[in-house]
Structure 1
Amino acid sequence: MNFKRYGSVAAIAVAGSLLLASCAANEGDTGSSTGDEGTPSTLSGTLVGAGASSQQSAQEAWVAAFQTANPDVTVEYDPAGSGAGRDTFIAGASSFAGSDRAFKDEEIAEDNFASCVPGTGIVELPAYISPIAIIFNLDGIATLNLDADTVANIFAGNITKWNDPAIVSQNEGVELPDLAITAVHRADDSGTTENLTDYLAAAAPSVWTWEADGVWPIEHGEAAPQTSGVIDAVTNGTGTIGYADASRAGDLGTVAVKVGDEYVPYSAEAAAAIVDASPLVEGRGEGDLAIELDRASTESGVYPIVLISYLIACNEYEDAAQAELTKAYLEYIISDEGQQLAAEKAGSAPISKTLFEKASAAVAAIK
């Protein structure tokens, strides 16, 4: 594939994708080289995707397993961020995108997806479901309880010290230091940011007066690129707080968020619970499974700061070979094997049986 003809958008995608594909290809050189049920794979070629860095751990596992089963296929996924992934897909520099938000109605209405046959629309699969962890770095403190207003006030810059009464009152027995808070946010256009700001706008509207957006809406705080940049900034800072896909939280402290009358720590189960309780966005095509999350839910056991990361593809491709590869790869990702692998490697929540049936029908219709 000649990436030069795609210009600057593709340049974003290529550098990271080659490294990730190379790593995954090495892992995929061992084990079975056959497809399902021992049937030799007839697939061949290169499949390029780009987008959400939240999917990175899952994509590494998916790519390795898929290439093991299909040794003549190379899958390249560049975790450049959701915004870059959507732009790359729109430009036709990738066959699929990973995005921590679905395309908006007005974006779909423009119908300018270069890889897709005009007028045929897109597929959006909520294939990666994970809580977004509020992460922090305070010596000797592994977890804190915070309600939505407190989280919003911290990221808005209204609460600036860790021993602020609003934090102390929710954490009896925890010795909080007289230390400045450094709030870290994503520097790039990020679906993780959009999910967090959507939660803040819905659950703390009196404090967080900005609309949900993938671009951080205010100047307060420290900016860092992509998920890895936020993790590094929080880890290497003092008194830092940020947010990231929970699979990347590592040994950092994490926040249990107040929902109703209880504080709920993040977990795959709690994330899956709120997804199953939320409806699909109205007015979309049959293959578009965008979900309208209920961020302000007070139901017991749900974790409202959840990331649904989508796999986005064409309903109908201009290039039949890319349609075949994309269809096969997405079939694997949404399968029980693919979902369990992501749960094991990235801590995500496997999609429900009902969601699988809808996603399976959407993928089967790709051509």
Structure 2
Amino acid sequence: MLASPDNGIPVLRTDDARRRRLVVPILVALVVGALVVALTAAGRQDRLAGSGSTLGQPLIDRSIEAYRSAASADNPDRPGATGNDWVLDGSGLEYEPVGSMGGIMRLAEDDVAFAVSDYPLSKAALDERQVVQFPLAVGALAVAHNLDLPPGATLRLDQATLAGIYTGAITRWDDPAITALNPGTRLPSTTITAVHRSDGSGSTAALTRYLSGAPGWTAGQGALVSWKGGVAAERSSGLVQAVRQRPGSIGYVERTQAQQSGLRLAQLENAAGAFVGPTDAAMRVSVAGLDYAGRDDYVGLAPTSAERAAYPLTVPIYALVERRPARETGARQALDFLRFVLEDSADLHERAGYLPLPGAAVGQIETYWRGHLPYAPR
């Protein structure tokens, strides 16, 4: 029957009407929910994502731009396409710099096809996570500082003094231990602020590996350690900003990012007792003679050169992919991009501040893929 009208509109007051008022909104909500899930899944299929190292970010970002442009140029169906609007089989290519540890952890997520790290996983960790790692390029970790020095002067540090700075044993720039390494350079009595990464970082792993041989170093080594004092910063961008904002501060970051930010770089004492900066030539000496065949799954690839011209914080950049991914199409696309980084972007490496791997190494790595990745091109 018809009840009294609401706002002039008759309202049915029956049991069926009441049920409809309850059921219809529920059905609408279920349909909308299903559409959201479907669109979200489609969105994940429409992107090819990588994540990880901030030290390797400049290289990956430049390589993505070049890869997009190359793919557009090779697509006869889109002659007017540019690198800015390119999509690969419907999948957008992007990279999130969350730190090496964050990238490795995110590789287990369905929407992440590859990770980038500046330290290698152990064999046990590779087996546990069911991933494969291999080198992509060679970079350098720089010790950067915000310190006024006389024109032409370069700060020199060894393991002991740098470890003392990060443990809090050395607190001023004119400390006798630092002045002894820098004869003829007038150092100010400015307080030192040691800036470190707060997130799990391959940069931290490289630095603490270097410092682990210093007397009095007790923090250990790894991507995430317990620092004594200092200032914590998240990601490379946060560390650079923290050093720039604090006169007398010191930190560690990829060399090109430090240079582009206007920070000055220190020379570090190497295994031969020589003080060397992160130049291309010094990096090449550091990695000369490395074996890229992957017999140990690239676990022990870290440079250990004893040459006088070698830079001690030269760092291989690694890519990691799953052995048996949930999305094999995405895994194939990721491997295609990583092969582009290895084979076709040598000029990008140099512009971004990295060294490409030798040609023979690229062939060895692709042979390694075929033996360890079922979806690798044959």
What TM-score comes out, normalization by structure 1 length? 0.78
Q: Structure 1 regions of 5+ residues with no counterpart?
A: 6-13, 19-43, 112-120
Q: Deviations over 1:229-268 (max 9, x none)?
A: 1101111111000100112112211111122242111113
| Alignment partners' CA distance in 2, 1:75 and 1:228 | 22
Contact 1:269 1:349 in 2 (8 A): no
Which residue is 1:108 aligned to? 126
Cα distance, 1:363 vs structure 2:
4.1
Match of residue 329, structure 2, among 321, 326, 334: 321
1:342 aligns with 2:349: yes
Aligned to 1:60: 61
In structure 1, give the amino acid aligned to 2:322.
C
Give distance in 2, aligned partners of 1:178 and 1:249: 24
Corresponding residue for residue 17 of structure 2: none
> 2:51 corresponds to which letter in structure 1?
A
Sort the Cα spacing of 1:69 and 1:156 in 2 relative to 1 into closer, same or farther, 3 A: same
Q: Which amino acid aligns with 1:213?
A: G
With structure 2 as the length reference, what TM-score do the two structures score?
0.76
Counterpart among 246, 250, 259 of residue 241 in structure 1: 250
Shift of 1:276: 3.1
Structure 1 residues 194-234: Cα deviation after superposition (integer angstroms, max 9, x where no partner): 111011113x2x23233211113223211000000110111
For 1:150, give the aligned amino acid: T
CA distance in 2, matches of 1:279, 1:218: 34
Structure 2 stretches lacking a partner, 5+ long: 1-33, 38-42, 72-85
Letter aligned with residue 338 of structure 1: S
Matched, 1:89 2:107: yes
Q: Which residue of 2 aligns with 1:252?
A: 263
Candidates 362, 367, 374, aligned match of 1:356? 362
* Preserved contact between residue 53 and residue 227 of structure 1 (Cα < 8 Å): yes
The 5 Å alignment of 1:179-190 reads 179-190=190-201
Per-residue deviation, residues 17-47 of structure 1 (Å, max 9, x unmatched):
x9xxxxxxxxxxxxxxxxxxxxxxxxx9531
Output the CA distance in 1 between the equivalents of 2:165 and 2:265: 15
Counterpart amino acid of residue 110 in structure 1: E
Q: CA separation of 1:208/1:354 partners in 2, compared to 1, >3 Å: closer, same or farther?
A: farther
CA contact (8 A) 2:87 2:93 kept: no
- Counterpart mapping for 1:24-173 below 5 A: 45-70=46-71, 71-73=86-88, 74-111=92-129, 121-141=130-150, 143-173=154-184
Assess if the C-alpha contact under 8 Å between 1:281 and 1:291 holds in 2. no
> CA–CA distance in 1 between the matches of 2:65 and 2:115?
18
| AA partner of residue 274 (structure 2) | E
1:126-178 Cα distance to aligned partner (Å, 9 max, x none):
11311110000112456211121111111111111100111111112211001
Aligned position for 1:333: 341
Distance 1:253 1:238 in 2: 12
- What is the aligned length? 312
Q: Which structure's CA Rg is the greater one?
A: 2
